[in-house]
A and B are shown apart, each in its own frame.
Chain A
Amino acid sequence: MFDALTEKLQAVFKRMRSKGRLSEADVREALREVRLALLEADVNFKVVREFLDRVEKQAVGQDILESLTPAQGVIRIVRDELVELMGRTPERVHMAPNPPTVIYLVGLQGAGKTTVSAKLARMLRQQGRQPILVAADVYRPAAQEQLRVLGERIQVPVVGEPGKTPVELADLGIKASRRMARDVVIIDTAGRLHVDEELMRELEEMNRRVPAHEMLLVVDAMTGQDAVRVATAFRERLPLTGLIMTKLDGDARGGAALSIRQVTGLPIKLIGTGEKLEDLEPFNPERMASRILGMGDILTLIEKAEAAMDREGTQALAQKIEKADFTLDDFRAMIEQVKKLGPLSKVMEMMPGMSGQMAKLKDKVDDRSVVRIEAILNSMTKKERERPEILDGSRRLRIARGSGTTVQEVNRLIKQFEDVKKLMRQMKGKKGRARFGRMPFPPLG
Chain B
Amino acid sequence: MAGFFERLRQGMARTREGLGDRIRTLIGGRQWSDALYDELEEILYEADLGYDAVDDILTRLKEDVRRRRPERAEEVLARLQDIMVSQLAPVAQPYRLGGQRPEVWMLVGVNGTGKTTTAGKLAERMKQQGFRVILGAADTFRAAATEQLMAWGERAGVDVVRQAEGADPAAVAFDTVKAAVARHLDLAILDTAGRLHNKRHLMQELEKIARVVGREVAGAPHQVFLVIDATTGQNGLEQARVFQDAVPVTGIVLTKLDGTAKGGVAFAIHRTLKLPIQLVGVGESLDDLMPFDPEAYVRAILGEVNLDSR
Contact of B11 with A195 in the complex, beta carbons under 8 Å = yes
Give Cα distance in the complex from A45 to B44, angstroms. 10
Task: Find the B residue at minimum CB distance from A223.
Answer: B231
Q: Which of B81-89, B92-100, B144-152, B213-221 contacts A (4 or more CB under 8 A)?
A: B144-152
Enumerate B140-179 residues with CB–CB distance to A below 8 Å.
Answer: 141-145, 147-148, 150-152, 165
Chain A residue numbers with a CB within 8 Å of B48 are 42, 224-226
Contact of B234 with A40 in the complex, beta carbons under 8 Å = yes
Q: Which of B23-31, B64-72, B194-202, B272-280 contacts A (4 or more CB under 8 A)?
A: B194-202
- Known contacts A112-B111, A247-B110; A223 and B232 CB within 8 A of each other: yes
Contact of B50 with A39 in the complex, beta carbons under 8 Å = yes
Contact of B233 among A110, A225, A251, A363 (CB under 8 A): A225
Chain B residue numbers with a CB within 8 Å of A194 are 259-260
Contact of B259 with A256 in the complex, beta carbons under 8 Å = no
B287 within 8 A of A: no
Report which residue of A44, A224, A359, A362 has the largest number of chain B beta carbons within 10 angstroms of its beta carbon: A224
Contact of A45 among B45, B114, B141, B147 (CB under 8 A): B45
B113 within 8 A of A: yes
Chain A positions 229 through 272: 1 when the CB is less than 8 Å from some CB of chain B, otherwise 0: 11001000000000000010111110110000000000000000
Contact of A226 with B259 in the complex, beta carbons under 8 Å = yes
Chain A positions 40 through 73: 1 when the CB is less than 8 Å from some CB of chain B, otherwise 0: 1110111000000000000000000000000000
A143 within 8 A of B: yes
B295 within 8 A of A: no
B258 within 8 A of A: yes
Q: Which of A125-133, A144-152, A423-431 contacts B (4 or more CB under 8 A)?
A: A144-152
Chain A positions 345 through 359: 1 when the CB is less than 8 Å from some CB of chain B, otherwise 0: 100010000000001
Enumerate B13-62 residues with CB–CB distance to A below 8 Å.
Answer: 14-15, 42, 45-48, 50-51
Give Cα distance in the complex from A398 to B249, angstroms. 46
A142 within 8 A of B: yes
B229 within 8 A of A: yes
Contact of A146 with B14 in the complex, beta carbons under 8 Å = no
Give Cα distance in the complex from A255 to B258, angstroms. 23
B256 within 8 A of A: yes
B235 within 8 A of A: yes
- Known contacts A112-B111, A193-B259, A222-B110; A256 and B233 CB within 8 A of each other: yes
Chain B residue numbers with a CB within 8 Å of A196 are 14
Contact of B112 with A110 in the complex, beta carbons under 8 Å = yes
Chain B residue numbers with a CB within 8 Å of A39 are 45, 50-51, 234
Task: Find the A residue at minimum CB distance from B256.
Answer: A109
A30 within 8 A of B: no
Chain A residue numbers with a CB within 8 Å of B206 are none
Contact of A195 with B196 in the complex, beta carbons under 8 Å = no
Chain B residue numbers with a CB within 8 Å of A149 are 143-144, 165
Contact of B196 with A224 in the complex, beta carbons under 8 Å = no
B265 within 8 A of A: yes
Task: Find the B residue at minimum CB distance from A196.
Answer: B14
Chain B positions 183 through 206: 1 when the CB is less than 8 Å from some CB of chain A, otherwise 0: 000000000000011111000000
Q: How far is the CB of B211 from chain A (nearest CB, A)?
A: 19
Q: How far is the CB of A45 from chain B (nearest CB, A)?
A: 4
B238 within 8 A of A: yes
Give Cα distance in the complex from A229 to B45, angstroms. 14
Contact of A249 with B112 in the complex, beta carbons under 8 Å = no
A97 within 8 A of B: no
Chain B positions 120 through 149: 1 when the CB is less than 8 Å from some CB of chain A, otherwise 0: 000000000000000000000111110110
- Known contacts A146-B144, A250-B110, A251-B235; A40 and B198 CB within 8 A of each other: no
Contact of B231 among A147, A220, A233 (CB under 8 A): A220
Contact of B50 with A251 in the complex, beta carbons under 8 Å = no
Contact of B259 with A220 in the complex, beta carbons under 8 Å = no
Give Cα distance in the complex from A413 to B232, angstroms. 44
Contact of A41 with B114 in the complex, beta carbons under 8 Å = no
- Known contacts A141-B151, A145-B143; A252 and B113 CB within 8 A of each other: no
Contact of A193 with B258 in the complex, beta carbons under 8 Å = yes
Give Cα distance in the complex from A93 to B15, angstroms. 31
Contact of B15 with A255 in the complex, beta carbons under 8 Å = no
A85 within 8 A of B: no
Chain A residue numbers with a CB within 8 Å of B238 are 251
Contact of A225 with B236 in the complex, beta carbons under 8 Å = no
Chain B residue numbers with a CB within 8 Å of A147 are 143
- Known contacts A109-B114, A251-B235, A359-B198; A40 and B50 CB within 8 A of each other: yes
Contact of B235 with A45 in the complex, beta carbons under 8 Å = no
Chain A residue numbers with a CB within 8 Å of B77 are none
A111 within 8 A of B: yes
Chain B residue numbers with a CB within 8 Å of A249 are 196, 198-199
Contact of B47 with A225 in the complex, beta carbons under 8 Å = yes
Contact of A224 with B260 in the complex, beta carbons under 8 Å = no
Contact of B235 with A195 in the complex, beta carbons under 8 Å = no
- Known contacts A223-B232, A224-B231, A250-B197; A142 and B148 CB within 8 A of each other: yes
B78 within 8 A of A: no
5 additional A-B residue pairs with CB within 8 Å, beyond A146-B144, A146-B145: A110-B111, A147-B143, A220-B229, A224-B231, A252-B235
18 sample A-B contacts, Cβ–Cβ < 8 Å, listed by A number: A42-B235, A109-B256, A142-B148, A145-B143, A146-B148, A149-B143, A193-B258, A195-B15, A220-B232, A224-B48, A225-B48, A229-B261, A230-B260, A247-B112, A249-B198, A250-B197, A251-B196, A251-B238
The 6 tightest CB contacts between A and B, nearest first, are: A224-B233, A110-B112, A42-B233, A141-B151, A142-B147, A226-B261
